[in-house]
Structure 1
Amino acid sequence: MKSFFLEKGVKLSVKTYSVTALSYMALGLFSSLIIGLIIQTIGEQLGWSYFVDMGTLAMGLMGPAIGAAIAYGLHAPPLIMFSAVISGEAGAELGGPAGAFLAVLISVELGKLVSKETKLDIIVTPFVTIGTGFTIAYFLGPIINTGLLGFGELIMWATDQQPFIMGILVAVLMGLALTAPISAAAIAIMIDLEGIAAGAAAVGCAAQMVGFAVSSYRENGVSGLFALGIGTSMLQVPNIVKNPLILIPPTVAGAVLAPLSTMVFLLENNAAGAGMGTSGFVGQIMTFSVMGFTPYVLWSILLLHVVGPALISLFLSEWMRKQNWIKLGDMKLDQG
């Protein structure tokens, strides 16, 4: 059985599924939802409907992009790769990015097992791949969605706490959601997060992105700085699986800065910007949209969304490197 699996390119290993597959899932997400939102935001701010339409299209194709990316990363044969596009869409529609990941991962691996095993390969292989992907999405998608709703309720509970505690809880939870293979933006919109709580969420999300971008600069250089800083911190998920300690610097940065946002600077945001961090600067643009473009708001954003997270994360990550808790290469991105 083991030799058959290896012959078919199915490697039953934690590294394959928790690192390689997640790495390519993040690339698929960046190539659709994240870049699409950036393009859409540019179009909305400049009044260019052409860019708005382009970005909206890219965002809507998140599922297929994740499907193609994971299939490519797992070295799937052509028929499986093309079919995985449909598995990805089914998973995304019923369970978001996490649903797409599960649907594609399982459907691709089962597709490999039947690939070229019959004379009707051109029918059997895509049927098994698509059928598996849709079945996984159909049964597990609602469960994943229920989990997201539960997480949303936890965020809503956090917003009811007094400002100091609320700031820390919302920033940490939303920041972790942004970096995890779920959609912080979708959660913020789903629960209609707004006001001071949305401002704290934006701080926590920005801390994850800027924190990872700065603390991993020595490994990833300028390209990583932009990919993480204005793209998505989700690119670090495979590295987090290998060394969860790298999550500490950006998470602490968000927890430290959030109370300043809720009690001192009183930054506000809306549901569209609360879960975006610095991705395409959507979080910052939405802050200006809610509070107005003033020198006070500008300097507050620079301090809490950019400079603060960068300094705190860099200091903590360097200290952790000296303790040998973070080693060179622990935050290296596989940028395909």
Structure 2
Amino acid sequence: MRPIQNRSRCRLLGFVLLAVLTVPALAVEIDGRIDPAEWQGAQRVTDFKVVQPLTGAAPAHPVEGWILATPEGLAVAWRVSMPPDVPRSRQPVQRDFEAQVDRVNFNIDFDGDGRTAYNFCISSTNGIGDGVFSNENAFNDDWDGNWKHAVSEDDQGWTAEALIPWYIAPMRQGTDGRRRVKVNMDRVIGATGERAAWPAVTFERSRFVSDFIPIEVAEYSQSLLAVTPYVSGLYDNVDGRSDFDGGADLFWKPNGQFQLSATLNPDFGQVESDDLVVNFSATETFISDKRPFFTENQGIFEYTTPSDFSQLLYTRRGGGGGAGGPGARRRPPGGRRR
């Protein structure tokens, strides 16, 4: 009986060892603090060069970056060195900010073909911005993605982490379990405007996205099913009437190669109103769409030139002929021509 017991114990030990070896690697916790154990195996970037002004020199204050593919998404981190004698911006910012503050950027072309790149920006106060580059350097911040971010600060600088899910944008299938993407990351000091980037490319040049550096990462796939309902109510104090409305947006992404988007009774009042513009010229004022359903991956429809805002799809141009003319239909709020 003793040999049988020993054999059973060996089998049990083998099963335990196999279970330990097959446990997935520890996921990166997006908390603004770079844990060496979590970032083990990441590609480390130290060769940042100054691109604003475009000198190509090493930055006076070093910056480091990390890129790591995980099953939960593409993890990116920055360590920005800023000694106490360098002024820091403490200004809180709203999404898609344009303020001159301390910030970092990560740009990625998921297909690596130079056609479309996605931008993810984090300020030192944990404000974010995102958008899409098309036609090499045409930027549109109407696109908003759902991604994680965190920031921490100390006496010698600040740290930012981001996790970009694989379902955030359409992308081609990889080859042999690997995905070839092209990336660019940078750091901007708000007080001086200095930008240090890797690789040393700038969006001020005609070829920006094509000059990203290619890297290979492990191929992962994620699915997403998101239903966003809304309910709104309106009470008319003059007539004493109430009006209620409701609807929903649906996004289904079983993988990176397929996406289904649907909307039921879209809410035209869920975003901020347009700026008031008085235009007496013969050229209409372009007002970009702000509703999430119509801004998702809209960049592929943009074929702009330096002198206009040409698009194959312009959802704000609703209604029929001239205002009040034959066949005119009611336009959504903010959708009228100005």
TM-score scaled by length of structure 1: 0.25
Structure with more of its chain in strand, by fraction: 2
